[in-house]
């Protein structure tokens, strides 16, 4: 089977991988690069647990070929904050008890980040709509919404607290 | 499941690859359908030809006729300023598809060639009388969107052709559009039924001068409600008249019953949504011309 050499810019770092052309970004992230913060579930772009940011936009890594990401900037949950630190969204999710089993949270937080990057002053409806592509079977969403709104306030108060800016 | 991946950098190269691979090849745009079908084992292409590096497929043109390149995403439609006014139905159709992750990548062209009877944006384009442009080894041809889909998932596009854009005429004065969809919940939902309309009023803003009504998810393909359109022409748009148009549309649609809704419920939705969509158009025309 032919493998193609790919250069993926993940969390600001360039990774060279050899991957079969049919493999998804999700698979390469988890299997080849050990970045298992991006979760795998429906594989049909329904549940959002595999959400990553591709050039700043939230996308489902389960239906994106790794080959399509050649040379493009990808942000995963591992790169959201500097090592040992928390992004205001992560801190807010903890503070608001927005996490139960946790499986949906990496995707949820990245979808929220993409939305807050474009909408720094969101209202509740906006946040609900922005997170519609991320399913959570534990929390009932309310605390996730509250945490996201609270993170938006924290980010407005101190924009530099977002430790690392995504390449767009 | 495995395939070879190709990334042409010009339309010409994309067409050559498409022609060479024929039924063994598939064009890849947003992948929100193709990749799912491949994962499910329903499609097994030997060659996947990504369109992401082909220039010229993602343009939106609004001078004269309006044209949407095949690779224009739902997100782009939502955020296009020119569609916030009389062409609002395009935004309304695009913003109810999937979540942000899907709309960031899912394209107009994919939506059309996919030929799902429930494709929301396609229903809007049908009400706008869109024409499609395809390119193949023999050159370009134009195909009316009405009749492009022949059954769920089946179109008249030839295997060696690439859909390049959808275009439709500029709206006449005193015209507005609207789109409404019914689903079991508000997000991430496939339409149980959806309706789009393009309405033009007479100079007195009372009678219907011209109307197009398109229905989704109530027939094997998106369809025009032609009897309802004929009934409305020249009539004053009273509540009674628009309700009757809804009843007529409900009799001309051909819904199935499935896991989402019974056939009878779908027809009832058409009868309800048609007058509501017309009322929205009316409101919009009066608002913009007053």
C-alpha–C-alpha distance, residues A104 and A147, integer Å: 14
Enumerate residues 128 to 187 of chain B having a beta carbon within 8 A of any beta carbon in chain A.
186-187
Give residues with Cβ within 8 angstroms of B271, minimum separation 6. Answer: B243, B246, B247, B249, B250
Please give the pLDDT value at position B190.
87
Specify the pLDDT at position A1: 65
Nearest residue on chain B to A57, judged by CA atoms? B104
**What's the pLDDT score for residue B20?**
95
Which residues are B141's β-sheet partners? B134
By Cβ distance, the residue of A22, A68, A132 closest to B50 is A68
| For residues A126-134, average pLDDT | 96
Per-residue confidence band for A165, with pLDDT thresholds at 50, 70 and 90: very low
- Please list the residue range(s) of chain A that carry CATH number 1.10.150.120: 88-161
pLDDT confidence bin for A166, thresholds 50/70/90: very low
CA distances from B193 to B77, B210, B274 (A): 21, 23, 11
In A, residues 104-143, which contact B (CB 8 Å cutoff)?
Answer: 111, 114-115, 129-134
Q: Tens digit of pLDDT for each residue in A55-70?
A: 999 999 999 999 999 9
Query: Which of the four CATH numbers 3.10.20.90, 1.10.10.10, 1.10.150.120, 3.30.300.30 does domain A88-161 have?
Result: 1.10.150.120
Q: Kindly list the structural domains of chain B, giving each domain's residue range(s) and its CATH number in brackets, ordered by start.
A: 1-54 (3.30.43.10), 175-289 (3.30.390.50)
Residue B124 structure tokens? 């809007």
Strand partners, B27: B49
Across chain A, what does the average pLDDT equal?
A: 94
Summarize the confidence of residues A15-32 as an average pLDDT.
Answer: 97
∠ CA(B181), CA(B152), CA(B113), 5° rounding? 85
Once rounded to an integer, what is the mean pLDDT over residues A77-102? 97
Candidates B289, B37, B27; CA nearest to B162 is B27
Calpha distance B68→B76 (Å, rounded): 10
> Which ipTM value was assigned to this complex?
0.93
Nearest CB to A44 within list B36, B48, B186: B36
A1-16 residue pLDDT tens: 689 999 999 999 999 9
Q: Which of B4, B97, B99 should one mutate to test binding to chain A, selecting the residue with the greatest count of A CBs within 10 A? A: B99
Rounded CA-CA distance B179/A117 in Å is 29
Is residue A161 very low, low, confident or very high in pLDDT (cuts 50, 70, 90)?
A: low
Cite the residue boundaries of each domain of chain A with CATH code 3.10.20.30.
Answer: 4-79
Task: Retrieve residue A10's tokens.
Answer: 């993940």
Q: Which of A44, A140, A47, A16 is nearest to B36 (CA)?
A: A44
Would you say B122 and B112 are in contact if contact means Cβ atoms under 8 Å apart?
Answer: yes
Per-residue pLDDT of chain B (290 residues; tens, 9 = 90+): 689 999 999 999 999 999 999 999 999 999 999 999 999 999 999 999 999 999 999 999 998 899 999 999 999 999 999 999 999 999 999 999 999 999 999 999 999 999 999 999 999 999 999 999 999 999 999 999 999 999 999 999 998 899 999 999 999 999 999 999 998 877 778 889 999 999 999 999 999 999 999 999 999 999 999 999 999 999 999 999 999 999 999 999 999 999 889 999 999 999 999 999 999 999 999 988 86
Mean pLDDT across chain B: 95
pLDDT of A110 reads: 98
Least CB-CB distance to B31: which of A64, A111, A134?
A64
Report CB contact under 8 Å: B98, A133.
yes
When pLDDT is averaged across residues A107-115 and rounded to a whole number, the result is 98
Tokens coding A24: 């998804």
Phi, psi of B21 (to 5 degrees): -85, -25
Provide DSSP, chain A. Answer: ---EEEEEEETTEEEEEEE-TT-BHHHIIIIIS--TTS--S-SSSSS-TTEEEETTEEEEGGGSBGGGGTT-EEE-GGGSS-TT---HHHHHHHHTT--SS-TTHHHHHHHHHHHHHH-SS--HHHHHHHTTT---SSS-SHHHHHHHHHHHHHHHH-GGGS-SPPP-
Superfamily of the domain at A4-79: Beta-grasp domain (3.10.20.30)
Given CB atoms, is B42 within the 8 Å cutoff of chain A? no
- Chain B neighbors of A3, CB-CB under 8 A: none
Residue of chain B whose alpha carbon sits nearest to that of A70: B7
């Amino acid at each position: 089977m032919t493998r193609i050499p790919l250069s993926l810019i993940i969390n600001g770092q360039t990774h060279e991988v050899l991957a079969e052309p049919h493999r998804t970004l999700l698979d390469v992230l988890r299997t080849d690069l050990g970045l298992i913060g991006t979760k795998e579930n429906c594989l049909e772009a329904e549940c959002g647990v595999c959400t990553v940011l591709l050039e700043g936009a939230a996308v489902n890594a389960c239906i994106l070929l790794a080959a399509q990401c050649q040379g493009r900037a990808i942000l995963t949950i591992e790169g959201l904050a500097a090592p040992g630190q928390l992004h205001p969204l992560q801190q807010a999710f903890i503070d608001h008890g927005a996490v139960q089993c946790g499986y949906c949270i990496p995707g949820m937080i990245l979808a929220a980040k993409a939305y807050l990057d474009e909408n720094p002053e969101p209202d509740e409806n906006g946040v609900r709509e922005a997170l519609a592509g991320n399913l959570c079977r534990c929390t009932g969403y309310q605390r996730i919404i509250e945490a996201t709104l609270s993170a938006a306030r924290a980010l407005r108060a101190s924009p530099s607290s977002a430790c690392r800016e995504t390449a767009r | 499941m495995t395939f070879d991946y190709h990334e042409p950098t010009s339309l010409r190269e994309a067409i050559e690859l498409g022609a060479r691979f024929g039924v063994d090849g598939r064009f890849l745009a947003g992948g929100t359908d193709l990749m799912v079908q491949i994962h499910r084992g329903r499609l097994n292409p030997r060659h996947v030809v990504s369109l992401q590096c082909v220039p010229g497929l993602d343009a939106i043109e609004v001078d004269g006729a309006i044209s949407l390149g095949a690779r224009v995403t739902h997100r782009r439609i939502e955020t296009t300023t020119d569609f916030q006014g009389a062409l609002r139905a395009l935004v309304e159709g695009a913003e109810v598809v999937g979540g942000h992750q899907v709309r960031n990548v899912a394209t107009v062209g994919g939506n059309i060639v996919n030929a799902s009877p429930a494709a929301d944006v396609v229903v809007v384009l049908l009400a706008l009388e869109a024409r499609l442009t395809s390119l193949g080894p023999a050159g370009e041809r134009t195909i009316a969107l009405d009749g492009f889909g022949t059954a769920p998932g089946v179109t008249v596009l030839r295997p060696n052709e690439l859909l390049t854009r959808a275009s439709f005429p500029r709206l006449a004065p005193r015209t507005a559009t609207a789109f409404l969809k019914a689903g079991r919940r508000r997000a991430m939902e496939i339409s149980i039924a959806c309706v789009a309309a393009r309405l033009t009023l007479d100079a007195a803003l009372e009678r219907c001068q011209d109307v197009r009504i398109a229905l989704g998810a109530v027939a094997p393909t998106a369809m025009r409600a032609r009897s309802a359109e004929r009934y409305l022409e020249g009539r004053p748009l009273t509540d009674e008249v628009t309700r009757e148009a809804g009843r007529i549309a409900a009799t001309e649609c051909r819904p199935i019953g499935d896991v989402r809704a019974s056939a009878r419920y779908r027809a009832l939705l058409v009868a309800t949504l048609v007058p509501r969509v017309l009322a929205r158009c009316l409101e919009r025309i009066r608002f913009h011309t007053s």
